[in-house]
Amino acid sequence: MALNDFDLVLFGGSGDLAMRKLLPAMYSRDVCNDLPPTARIICVGRHEWSQDEFLHSVEKNSKPHLKAVDQAAWAKFIQRIVYVSLNATDASTYAPLVEALRDDASLTRVYYLATPPHLFAKICDNLAATGLATANSRVVLEKPLGRDLASAKQINAEVGKVFSESQIFRIDHYLGKETVQNLLALRFGNILFEPLWRREWISDVQITIAEKIGVGNRMGYYDTSGALRDMLQNHLLQLLCIVAMEPPTSIAPDAVRDAKLQVLRSLKRFTPTTLAQNIVRGQYRAGHVDGAAVPSYRDEPDAPAQSRTETFVAIKAEIDTWRWAGVPFYLRTGKRMHDRLAEIVVRFKPIPHSIFNQPNNSFQPNSLVIRLQPDEGLRMNLMAKTPGDGMRLKQAELELDFKEQFKAPRMEAYERLLLDVLRGQLTLFMRGDELEAAWDWVEPILNHWEHEDSMPIPYTSGTWGPAASSALIGRDGLQWREEA
Ligand code: BG6
């Protein structure tokens, strides 16, 4: 579907996200001829830069992040960019933005707030005060969407005073990843899985997002956030929702979001006792990643010497519904891990009886591995007969490599999500009540950590996290997949 002509306004337009992700994503779409010829990107920042100075900064800070550069296409792309300098918190400085925007109600207008969340309400107020929050405009909210339930509610309430829910796009970039959408295709485009997708046939689910990178130069943000807020409350819970939700009646935004909301509301809440048993938090220490020595979290630039912020978290969660009662969902994320890996593993129950001359426990239960990163694919593990004489069964793999199967070029998550915002397609964005339900579940954990004395468990960089994480799942007789 061709896009309507648009003005895309990036608040935080000279910031890291705009340079590393948003402008490169728009460039890629431009190269693929998805952008209308007169569509523009208006970058808003505080620096009093001229247009040329800003474009110089784009050249230096954004261009290196392009997947491939075609000089002619790049030269054409940067002509779409307009730089506007203003103080986002002061409506009296908005005149240059009013001037830069085209006054045409038939255009799509998007305000992308790639700013710290405490500015969201003020910017929305200022857009309203200057007459820029029109009925044909949309607002995109970048994470972190609050730091607890109260702040998330406040963001929802304040942004909601200016924009209606159908105009608000809350980004979780994991939903823009190809394999996450493929999980929807797998579950609801095939008859095979849905009858088995329940407690009678599934024994447990693992969801891992492991990163090799450390905190880098984001200490200011990260140390007040930690892995639970930065990754689990949003990305991991969104993946959990897509795995566990009831079949929505359609792919329409509210059908999907209602189904996800039901999962979030059905998550078993932790009490101080269950919390201590089912959650492990860790913090990385010096070690080696890919053979290179890396420092301890507490020795990273600007790290507080006694920081208690977790860089790793593993949780055993449960969903209190008829479909999922008793099925553990093990969630895990960490920085400075052994490998970069994002995957969902759905393990099925063991066969009830072996007819072969082989003991039951030599049969690996079937499992489905949905791989998001580094490569994208699906793997079904089955038992098969080994060739030759006799009847000996061994695990074999059915593999679907998306890159091999579909030669079409891939889209980065932000490309897909930006296109959806410009089309007004809300399915891959979180609704306000979903956001609040996710914070509501996470909040007792945050409160507990804040009020108790314990520290995150140290783990060596380049490992799979604290031994307690293996013990958490080991208690149920299981192993994390890469340790199996
Ligand atoms: C972001 C987090 O939301 O996701 C980062 O703030 C993290 O800390 C990043 O590194 C991971 O995203 P991806 O797409 O690289 O897995």
Q: In the predicted model, what is the mean pLDDT of residues 97-113?
A: 96
The finding on whether 7 has its CB within 6 A of some atom of ligand 1 is no
Question: What mean pLDDT comes out for the span 223-231?
Answer: 97
Report the first-to-last Cα separation within the chain, whole angstroms.
45
Least confident of 15-19, 90-94, 357-361, 426-430: 357-361
Q: Which atom of ligand 1 is nearest to the CA of 143?
A: 3
Using pLDDT thresholds of 50, 70 and 90, give the confidence band for residue 476: very high
Residue 484: pLDDT above 80? Answer: no
Whole-prediction pTM: 0.96
**Residue closest to 22 by CA, chosen among 426, 374, 342, 413:** 413
> Residues 6 or more apart from 474 whose CB is under 8 A from it?
none
23-67 tens-digit pLDDT: 999 999 999 999 999 999 999 999 999 999 999 999 999 999 998
Q: What is the DSSP letter of 231?
A: I
How many CB atoms neighbour CB 202 within 10 A?
21
Tell me what percent of the residues of the chain surpass a pLDDT of 90: 90
> What number is the average pLDDT over the span 313-338?
98
302 has pLDDT over 80: yes
Checking if the pLDDT of 403 tops 90, the result is: no
Q: Among 277, 191, 198, 189, which Cα is nearest to 243's?
A: 198
- Pocket test residue of 211, 215, 284 for ligand 1, highest count of atoms within 8 A of CB: 211
- Give me ligand 1 centre to Cα 173, in Å: 8
Q: What is the model's pLDDT at position 482?
A: 79
Number of H helices, E strands in the chain: 17, 17
Q: Kindly state the helix (H) or strand (E) to which residue 97 belongs, with its residue range.
A: helix 95-100
Asked whether 110 and 7 are in contact (CB, 8 A), the reply is yes
Output DSSP code: residue 246: P
The catalytic site residues sit at 235
Average pLDDT over residues 251-255: 98
**Most trustworthy range by pLDDT among 217-221, 452-456, 457-461:** 457-461
User: Per-residue confidence at 357, pLDDT binned at 50, 70, 90?
Assistant: confident
Chain Cα centroid distance, residue 64? 23
Flag the least confident range among 282-296, 314-328, 357-371: 357-371
Specify the ligand 1 atom closest to the Cα of 234: 3
CA of 359 to the centre of ligand 1 (A): 43
Please tell me the predicted confidence (pLDDT) of residue 358: 83
| Max CA separation in the chain (angstroms) | 84
pLDDT, position 234: 97
Q: What is the pLDDT of residue 18?
A: 97
Backbone angles phi and psi of 212, in degrees to 5? -90, -25
Enumerate long-range contacts of 352-360, CB under 8 Å, 24 or more apart.
Answer: 356/391, 356/393, 357/391, 358/392, 358/393
Instruction: Classify burial at 191, counting beta carbons within 10 Å of its beta carbon; exposed 0-12, middle 13-18, buried 19 or more.
Output: exposed
- For residue 317, which of 333, 306, 339 has the smallest C-alpha distance? 333
C-alpha 441/C-alpha 427 separation (Å) is 22
> Is the CB of residue 111 less than 8 Å from the CB of residue 127?
yes
Question: Is the confidence at residue 313, as pLDDT, over 90?
Answer: yes
Q: Is 343 a pocket residue for ligand 1 (Cβ < 6 Å)?
A: no
* Three-state SS at 75: helix
pLDDT by residue (tens digit) across 123-173?
A: 999 999 999 999 889 999 999 999 999 999 999 999 999 999 999 999 999
Q: What pLDDT is attached to residue 14? A: 95
Q: How many CB atoms lie within 10 A of CB 482?
A: 15
What sign does the dihedral 139-144-147-148 (CA atoms) show? positive
Sorted by sequence, the CB contacts under 8 Å of residue 22 that are 6+ apart come out as 10, 112, 114, 414, 418
Q: Is residue 230 lining ligand 1, measured as CB closer than 6 Å?
A: yes
pLDDT of residue 268 exceeding 90: yes
> Is residue 126 a contact partner of residue 95, using CB atoms and an 8 Å limit?
no
Residue with tokens 């247009």: 51
Residue 363, pLDDT > 90, answer: no
Question: What are the C-alpha distances in Å from 239 to residues 48, 207, 227, 402?
Answer: 41, 8, 16, 19
Q: What is the mean pLDDT of the chain?
A: 95
> How sure is the predictor about 483, in pLDDT bands with cuts at 50, 70 and 90?
low
Pick from 183, 176, 305: which is nearest to 234 by CA? 176
Summarize pLDDT for 387-396 with one digit per residue, the tens: 998 899 999 9
One-letter amino acid for residue 310 of the chain? E
Residue 17, pLDDT score: 95
Q: Which residues contact 78 (CB under 8 A, 6 or more apart)?
A: 55, 58, 59
376 lines ligand 1 (CB under 6 A): no
Q: In this structure, what token pair is assigned to residue 375?
A: 């490569």
Residue 408 pLDDT class (50, 70, 90 cuts) = confident
> Range with the lowest mean pLDDT among 228-237, 322-331, 371-380?
371-380
- Ligand 1, closest atom to CA 218? 8
